[in-house]
Structures are given as C-alpha cells and as structure tokens.
Amino acid sequence: MMPAKNLVGTVLKNTVRSKRHFILSAFGIVIGIWWFVLFLALTQKAGTVLESIFPLDEVQVVAPRVSLLGKDASKRLDDSVVQVISARPEVASAVPRMNLAFPAAGRGDFEGTDLKFEVGGFADGVDPKYVREAAEAEAKKEGAPDNKRIIELFKDWESIKDPANEVACVPPPRDPREDIIQSPGKKPAAPSPAEDTGWGPQIPDPAAGSGSASGSGSADGSGSATGSGGSATGDGSGANAGAAGSGSGSATGAGSGSAAGAPPPTTPAKKEPYYNPCPDPDRYYCDDTERRCKHRVPIVLSSTVVELYNNQFAKSHGMPMADQNLVNMLLQQRGLSAMRFSVGLGFTTVAGTGVSTKRQPKRVEAVVVGVSTRAMPIGVTMPIEYVRRWNRDYLGEDAAGAYSSIIVKFKDRNQIAVFSEWIELPEAKGGPGLRLEDQLGKKFATAIFVIRLLFLIISIAILVIAVINIGHNFYIQVSERRREIGIMRAVGATEMDVRLIMLGEAALIGIVGGLIGVGLAVALAVGADWYSTNHLPPFPFKPDSWFSFETWIWVSGLMFSTVFCVLGGFLPARRAAKMEPAQALAQN
Amino acid sequence: MRGVSIDVERGELVALVGQSGSGKSTLLNIIGGLDMPDSGEVEVLGTDTLKASDKKRANLRNQSIGFVFQAFNLLDHLTCLGNVTIPAAFAHGAKEIDERGREALRRVGLADFSHRYPSELSGGQKQRVAIARALFGAPSLLLCDEPTGNLDSETGKEVIDFFRELNAKDGVTLMIVTHERRVSSVAKRVIAMRDGLIVETTDEELAEKAGPA
C-alpha cells in the first residue's frame, strides 16, 4: 500500500481538481445528514422534556373504580398490597401514595396577593425518602437546582424531637369571624378582637381590600396598619387582607385603632416581620390549638404546577410571573418565608360540600421547599406521615391505611409488560385485581418514538438516494479517469492503492458533506429557537431551545455520512481497481 | 499470442516489429506486468511476475521498469514536474522527490519546464517529459510502445538518439515496439512478430525484410 500521507495528499488533490464532481456527489449527502441530525436533535429534546413531565421508568398501580349505590366500593390499597407487590421478582421498589381524604383549604400571600385555594383533593403524601433521593439525584446533574431545601427539610417533623424549637408559645389572637385559615395575626398585646367592629369579609370588598392589601401585603409578611381603609380597626383588617399565610400586622399598628382612620399619607409602610414567637421563626410557627411551636409542613410541587402558574394563572390573575423556576427563584430571593401558607384542615373553600369529620377544623402552616418530579402533577405533596395522621384524626383508622396509588419501579424497564399482566389478573383467579394508571407519558413517548422513526426513515431514504447518486457519479469518474488510473498502475500503484484512492475520495465527500449537513442543522435550529423566543407566546413547558444536539447525535451524523459515502464508492472503486491497466492505457 | 519464447539480456536494445495486432504491444505489456497471459512463464529482472503478488509487480514497475507510450500519457492537470514525480506517491521512503524530478527533466533537456503544463508543450517535449517520468525511478528496464509514433521525423530522431545514449552510457535495457525502420536500425536485435507468433529473431537486415508493420 502506498504511504498514508501520500494517499491523503492524492485524495485531496483529486478532490480539489474535480470540484464539480465533488459538489454533485456531496449535495444529496448534505441534505440527508441535515435532516437526519435536525430531527434527531428535535425528537431528542422532546423526549427529554417528556421525561421531565412523566417519569417513564415507573408505573402507578391503582384500584379499578367500583361504585355501589353511589358509594365507592373499590378495592382497598393497603400495606398488604404493597407487600405483595414488593415481593414480585421484577419489582425494585413499591412506594405508596396517600391522598388527603377530607377537605382542606389553603391561604397564602404571594407577592402581595392574598390567595385562597382548595387543598383537599389536591394533596397527597409519599415516603419522604423517595422524594429526597430524587432531589439528590437531580442535584448531581449539571445545571440542575441544588435542591438543598428538599434534601434538608422534606421530612416528617412530627417524629423528630426538637425541644430547642418546640417550645410553648402564645399564638396571636384571631378574628372569630374570619375563617380558620386567616392570617397568623399580630402580637397578643393588641386589643381583644371582640371589641373591634367593622371586620371585612373573608375576601375583602374592593374598597377595604384594595386599601388594606396595598398597605400591608407583601411577600415577607410585613405590613403596616396605615392602609386600613376607613375602619377603626385598621390593624386587624390589614392583617386579614394582606398576607394570610405569611401574616402581616405590625407592632406600630397594633395599638393605633383610633388613629387609623386618618393615616398619615407621608408615612411609608414600615416593613416588619409578622409576629412569630418561635425561636426559629423561619421554619417554625406557633400552633393555635397546641400552643406550641411546630415545624411547618414541608411541601414539594411538581414542575407542572409551576409551569401552569407561570404560563396560565399568573397571566389570567394579573400576578407577577416567575422567569424560569418560580419556587427556586423565590426561595433564593427570600428564603423559606416566601413560600409558606396556612392550611385549614377540615375547612373548605368549596361551598355546599357535606363531609362530616371527627374533628374541629384546625390551622397548620406549610412551606414549599422545592420542585420535585415525585410531586403529584397538580397539587401539593408532603411526607406521607402527615397525611396518614390527619386522615386518622379526621376520618379514622380506615382512612389512615388506605393508599391512593402505589408507585412501582422495575429492575428492568422491559418487565413492565409481565407485571402489567399479573396486576390485572382478577381476584377470582388469584391475582390482585388491580390496574395500572393510564400512562399518558407512555402514550406521548410512543408518539415521539413513531415521529422519530418516521423522520429517520425519511432521512435514511434521502441518504440512500444520495448513496446511489454518489455511486453513479463515481462510475462516471472511473470511466473518465481510465487513463489516469492506468498511468498510476504503470508507475507503481497496486490495485489496493487505486481502490483506496477512490474510497478516500468518497469518504472525504462524506466527511465534508456531513460537516456541512450538521452545520446547516445547527444553523436552522438556532434560527428556529430565535423565532420561538421572540415570536411565539409563552406556554407550559416551552423550552429555551427546541433542539438537543447531544454529542452522539452529530457524531453519528458524521459517521453515517462517511459510511454511506464509502458504501456508495465501494463498487466503483472495485471496478477501478480491477481495471486492466493495459486496456486503460490503450490508445483512444 | 502463442508459443512466444524470448530471452533478453541485461543491457540489450531490442526492437519489436510487426503489423498492427501482431501482439507486440501485448508482449511488452506482459513483460511490464500490465497485462496477464493465460498461461506461460515470465521472468523479469529475476522476478516471476505471473506468480508474484500484485504488490510485488507494482513495486517492480515503481522501482525497476519505466514505460514510454506512443500517446505520452501525461496528466494534463499536473505540471511537468508533477507528472515526472507521480511514481514517488507509490514509493515508500522516497526522498528529494522534487530534486530527482528536476534532474530527470534536465536529462531530457527540459530543465526550465518544471512548472509548465503538458498543454503548453509540443509533441516532442511531451514525449521527453514522459521519458523523464520513466527515468524517475532509475529503472534498469525501459519498455517503449511506439515512442516515436506521434512525433515528426526530426523529433523522433532525437528521441531515438536519446535512447541509444541511455543504452550505451547507463546500460539500461530497452525494448522498443516500433514499425519504423529508422528505429529498428539502431537496435542490436530485432524481433519480428506476426499474428501473435515470433516469425524471426534475427539481426537488422532480416528485420527489414519483414516490411513495414
């Protein structure tokens, strides 16, 4: 074989010499690789976004819905079912989830707006270890949030004894006409609420509401009594309407009931933290009934909730929009006090629901500690022991042992089918008689897979046509360069040399064509992303970039391109090598 | 070709004469390893070229055999120097390639033509570039197929004189296919062929009787 350096030199010289041939041959390859790489990157990104919404390596086991005379008669998912599932050989882990089974409502302040929302039906509990593990795994990824607060705080604090913080306390007085989830209130030294008159409604009327909200509402829970409308009890209403969850009211306003009627307009609202007698007010609150400091209930949200808030709710309700990651942004800016809210257990914002609970409504405080893939899609997720306890307290032992679903993770993804068949086996036949929840993620993943396959087939078809084109062009080249090939043989080229020169030229077309194709794909992607950023309205899960040019994608693009070109040049190169030099050199 | 059997000694200058299609070019190509007989034995410079590998034959052409063709067979996209040094691309450890290429051009009297292209040259000059290429590897055997066929008599004579000098001074073995008497007249040995057979192997005068090819 000729020296490799000479081979490369000869290939380069020949290619530069026959530019037209080169361009004609490379054209198809460029187009093929362009689409190949572009759609691979697009569908790759779609898959990544999808997996961030739906975890695809696990399934949820639920009981088939059965109703008897309007009553739910579905099979109960309890610890025995969890044990049976865990014992299956293909199952790596089975983690139960439990819904909050009675009404509850939340109230919190967000950026100066008093928000009330239903929690019952939109809350569940899960093993906190399960959430923390996911947070730790995610934190290791590049560019991911550190999830420090989830790892540190997503625990069942009731089971953790902390005498230093769990001290006795006197909760601030509350307005008896306010609902149970009213704001935490002010210092007990204030005048008794019974003496006050003119309390605003739960949701303040426009006059009082706007006045008080502007005066007192702020995310960190500070406020002043100066903006209390015309009411003589300005401090009270300010606290009401301002920041329910995080609290407002100020020491200055507390004793100024008479003066509040004519607030001095020049006095700026003095920011002060709301009254919290606990040693660590950032994490602990004073429980109204136990009169003891307790840790706030840690809450994780799903990215779906955050996206829905950002792209739908914030707009429709005139609320500030958080740029990238709402929760992380707020936690970073203001610490834990930013994302706390009250939960009224046994209390509902939905009128007309009749649920009898064993207990009087009670107020607890919660705090959002982060965004987790393990949170329920729409709602709030907390450590399961909280839900279990509350269900027991409000509904009884039966509710404390019934799970809403069981998340099953497999040792191997491919065993889902085996498991699925077993889980649906009716009880009459000795099976568990359960079912897998509709796997929306799986349907989307299948759709993306089909689309990806379709585009791959199209680009492979383009590439095959390109290969045929290259083969054809090289055949013509071999005929046109008969004499040249003969001369090379006469002065010492072996058959292998001739073959390698032709294949080298084909490979060069592949490499250069592939590079151009990849370059065009990246250019088009940058253009599309620019258009998307500047001209498309925001929507949930709108990505910064629609494409994911992972290394393997463009490397495989280049490899495909080169391999296909070499394939196209294979037969012509063989023909060139097998050509009789004497005939090639014969005159005319 | 049938029953052809010849021996050529080192340093001989042999002319092959005969009519078109008599097989003289084929014989030359077989000797050079550019063509393969169906059967027989060929030994060139101590190598059995029929049994040798393609690589070995190619190496022989690269190092020890030079070809000169009637149609010159230069590559138009290369300069004279580029054409002369083509063999270097297929040689391992080739050194001072350009120097040796210029030296070869100087020997054929075209020292100033290194950077000219074949299209700028006359027929005689082209053939001299082709000869320079054949001489690049300092071959001991030069195979020439109608080297003067496309040249006028004056330049043809120059080429023949050059060959004679090459044979006399450098001891290069030459085999020249020709149908020109003037060429065969300088040969020390003339082989006449007809219909793929060697009809006579004799001296110059006998060759003349074979008539114009």
What single DSSP character describes residue A312? I
Angstrom distance (rounded) from CA A478 to CA A472 = 10
Partner-chain contact B54 A495, CB within 8 Å:
yes
Determine which of A5, A12, A13, A491 to mutate to test the interface with B (most B C-beta atoms within 10 Å). Answer: A491
Residue A240: pLDDT above 50? no
ipTM of the assembly? 0.91
Which residue of A lies nearest to B53 if distances are taken between CA atoms?
Answer: A494
Residue A244: pLDDT above 80? no
Residues in chain B within 8 Å Cβ distance of A494: 54-55, 58, 90
- Taking a C-beta distance cutoff of 8 angstroms, is the pair A33, A560 a contact? yes
Partner-chain contact B87 A491, CB within 8 Å:
yes
Three-state DSSP class for A245?
A: coil
pLDDT tens digits, residue range A564-577? 999 999 999 999 99
Residue A206 CB contacts under 8 Å (≥ 6 apart), including other chains: none
The residue whose two tokens read 């020709």 is: B178
CA angle in degrees (0–180, nearest 5) for B163-B168-B172: 65
Report pLDDT for B113.
Answer: 93
CA angle in degrees (0–180, nearest 5) for A14-A29-A40: 140
Which residue of B lies nearest to A481 if distances are taken between CA atoms?
Answer: B75
Residue A338: pLDDT above 70? no
Residues in chain A within 8 Å Cβ distance of B133: 491
DSSP annotation string for chain B: --S------TT-EEEEEE-TTSSHHHHHHHHHTSS--SS---EETTEETTTS-HHHHHHHHHHTEEEEETT----TTS-HHHHHTGGGGGSTT--SHHHHHHHHHHHTT-GGGTT--GGGS-HHHHHHHHHHHHHTT--SEEEEESTTTTS-HHHHHHHHHHHHHHHHHH--EEEEE---HHHHHH-SEEEEEETTEEEEEE-HHHHHHT---
User: Of the candidates A544, A561, A579, A569, which has an alpha carbon nearest to the alpha carbon of residue A459?
Assistant: A561
Least confident interval from A155-164, A432-441, A495-504, B129-138: A432-441
Which residue of B lies nearest to A582 if distances are taken between CA atoms?
Answer: B34
The residue whose two tokens read 């009082």 is: A208
Q: Give how far Cα B174 sits from Cα of B28, B107, B149, Å.
A: 11, 17, 17
Partner-chain contact A487 B86, CB within 8 Å:
yes
Residue A194: pLDDT above 50? no
* A282 half-sphere exposure, CB direction, 13 A CA radius: 7
User: Of the candidates B25, B37, B122, B23, which has an alpha carbon nearest to the alpha carbon of residue B72?
Assistant: B122
Angle between helix axes A482-490 and A440-480 (nearest 10 degrees) is 70
Angstrom distance (rounded) from CA A375 to CA A357 = 26
DSSP annotation string for B130-155: HHHHHHTT--SEEEEESTTTTS-HHH
For residue B180, the distance in angstroms to the closest alpha carbon of chain A comes to 18
pLDDT tens digits, residue range B24-41? 889 999 999 898 888 888
Partner-chain contact A587 B29, CB within 8 Å:
no
Determine which of B34, B72, B95 to mutate to test the interface with A (most A C-beta atoms within 10 Å). Answer: B34
**Residue A329: pLDDT band by 50, 70, 90 thresholds?**
low
Average pLDDT, rounded, for chain B: 88
Report pLDDT for B193.
Answer: 87
**Residue B145: pLDDT band by 50, 70, 90 thresholds?**
very high
The residue whose two tokens read 């080297």 is: B147
Three-state DSSP class for A52?
A: helix
Residue A221: pLDDT above 70? no
Residue A159: pLDDT above 80? yes
Q: Percentage of chain B surpassing pLDDT 90? A: 56
Residue B101 CB contacts under 8 Å (≥ 6 apart), including other chains: B81, B84, B85, B88, B114, B132, B136
Q: Which DSSP helix (H) or strand (E) runs through A528?
A: helix A495-535
Partner-chain contact B75 A487, CB within 8 Å:
yes
Report pLDDT for A223.
Answer: 34
pLDDT tens digits, residue range A449-504? 888 899 889 988 999 999 999 999 999 999 999 999 999 999 999 999 999 999 99
Count CB atoms within 10 A of the CB of residue B59: 18
Report pLDDT for A251.
Answer: 35
pLDDT tens digits, residue range A347-387? 777 766 666 677 888 889 898 888 888 898 888 999 999 99
Angstrom distance (rounded) from CA B144 to CA B73 = 12
* B54 half-sphere exposure, CB direction, 13 A CA radius: 15
Residue A254: pLDDT above 50? no
pLDDT tens digits, residue range A527-565? 999 999 898 887 777 788 899 999 999 999 999 999 999
Average pLDDT, rounded, for chain A: 78
> Phi and psi at residue A106, in whole multiples of 5°?
-115, 155
